[in-house]
Structure 1
């Protein structure tokens, strides 16, 4: 059987993704009742390669492997041969001989693909400049927990057409919901990713119009990791795109607000938005653990029935 990787949401079928979400909810509920007693991977090791900083990603993956009876190794370019120029493929082949699964947070998506092509163990994309699929598993899980099936619903992305936006586009395709993207001119998502979604995704310029009647609203920081030098330029471009309580009032009465975090209060969101009951970002963040557990289980064992 060919090694399964998870580099984007398109690496699993819609049915597999739906099962992953339900499995994550089952794992979460069992953990609340029984504690971390389900340990399907004793003596298994995950290599975690970080070229970008992280809080939620590192803690959630490391905790997931500990709960599963396994172990996670933190690797950075500063203390591995990757930082001294070892070819990506060579590192992939070496680690394939030593660990059971690899998680990578990096800049270049092409580099991640090159690593996966040389790896004989599953590789998980924990964020690249182009995609952040693990975050979307947690986001859709949270939406599903609180509001049921997301099929046919309407989500709104307000902000930069970045890696998170790209993964929201893929999520709309895979989970069959509508997505409105509201961004300033010049900050649209990649055209090829947008085109692949067809009429399921639309581009708007007015946040008030975009959120009207929506079921879910989400955003991200205006300057992502690696774009800090553009902060002032982006603040000017995104003026008027801040998500506030008043803006959410234009959505459905039971609309939810998500943010992948960390959030910059007073920039992409109002100072008090995360205190609003419609903001479910702490549950969303916590669900990274459970969604990624389901993903690890899927990649190492195949589909597990609830």
Structure 2
């Protein structure tokens, strides 16, 4: 994995198909305790948005690698008082070994990458959530033993998670189906990029019909109907997204071995029903755990210790 040393992960598409598979295999070895690399490095977490799983999984992963973590709360640092990103980036680059950023605008992340020599990781922007996709792929690989040829269906808002599913799924040869209400489709630019990556290897489907998307698929994935920063729209979105709920009826259309996925936090009774979330087909808790293992593999690779 030395090919990743010193690089950034701003998009899941920054990785090649081979690099994704290598990362997943490394994550599996780390999870099973087959290897235990030592990483006396310092990770900075700069989160402009709330976080539970991402913050904790990155922190525990770095601690388990033998490193340190500094939480750079924007409310307690100069970056939250208007210091230019360019200045913050160049200073942090003198202190830290690697920096994970959760922010709104993808351009802000790219500015950090332009002004830092250390690896920059996208811990979620409004455009993408690549680390989540690595954990999703690890969960699929654990469940089915392979990725190529599988069909993943995403039902709900065409948001950052949907974008990373499109790109990451295309890279590993999965068929990706996205079902959203009209006017809530994923970015046409991301769809076109995913279709170009997929080529003849796999299929990309964008539809307004959740039943069409679910038919015979191997995983049905959903996310909240209103992402962070859209909380004031949550109530108005409920009637629009109600037909896109992941419930027993929708799961019944999928392959008999299909799994249910959710990136969390979940609103039971809205985008997913409690019986599906707590049912035997749900791999949601494995998926959440795999955030830590996938990110541990990612950081170890970007830092060049494996």
Category of TM-score, reference length = shorter chain = over 0.9
Deviation at 1:271, TM superposition (A): 2.5
Aligned ranges 1:8-47 → 2 under 5 Å: 8-30=11-33, 38-42=36-40, 44-47=41-44
Aligned ranges 1:159-170 → 2 under 5 Å: 159-170=156-167
> Is 1:297 aligned with 2:300?
yes
Deviation at 1:39, TM superposition (A): 4.5
Instruction: Assess if the C-alpha contact under 8 Å between 1:39 and 1:67 holds in 2.
Output: no
C-alpha deviations, 1:87-138, integer Å up to 9, x for none? 1111111111111000001111111111111111000000001100000000
Where 2:242 maps in the other structure, the secondary structure is coil
How many correspondences in the alignment?
297
> Is 1:285 aligned with 2:288?
yes
C-alpha deviations, 1:25-81, integer Å up to 9, x for none? 1100017xxxxx824212x10010011111101111110111111101011110011
Q: Hey, what does 1:34 align to over in structure 2?
A: none
Deviation at 1:270, TM superposition (A): 1.1
> Is 1:210 aligned with 2:213?
yes
Consecutive aligned runs of 4 or more in structure 1 exceeding 6 Å deviation: none
Q: Counterparts of 2:229 and 2:243 in 1: how far apart (Å)? A: 23
Structure 1 counterpart of 2:275, from 268, 272, 275:
272
Deviation at 1:246, TM superposition (A): 2.0
> Is 1:103 aligned with 2:103?
no
Q: Counterparts of 1:177 and 1:83 in 2: how far apart (Å)? A: 40
C-alpha deviations, 1:243-290, integer Å up to 9, x for none? 002210110010011100000000001132111111010010001110
Q: Hey, what does 2:70 align to over in structure 1?
A: 73
Instruction: Assess if the C-alpha contact under 8 Å between 1:265 and 1:272 holds in 2.
Output: no
Instruction: Assess if the C-alpha contact under 8 Å between 2:170 and 2:176 holds in 1.
Output: no
Q: Hey, what does 1:233 align to over in structure 2?
A: 236
The CA RMSD measured in Å over matched residues stands at: 1.4
Q: Hey, what does 1:58 align to over in structure 2?
A: 55
Structure-2-length-normalised TM-score: 0.94
Q: Counterparts of 2:63 and 2:171 in 1: how far apart (Å)? A: 30
Q: Hey, what does 2:254 align to over in structure 1?
A: 251
> Is 1:193 aligned with 2:190?
yes
Higher relative contact order (CA 8 A, sep 6+): 2
Where 1:49 maps in the other structure, the secondary structure is strand
Structure-1-length-normalised TM-score: 0.94
Instruction: Assess if the C-alpha contact under 8 Å between 2:214 and 2:220 holds in 1.
Output: yes
Decide which moves more: 227-236 or 95-104. 227-236
Q: Counterparts of 1:243 and 1:196 in 2: how far apart (Å)? A: 27
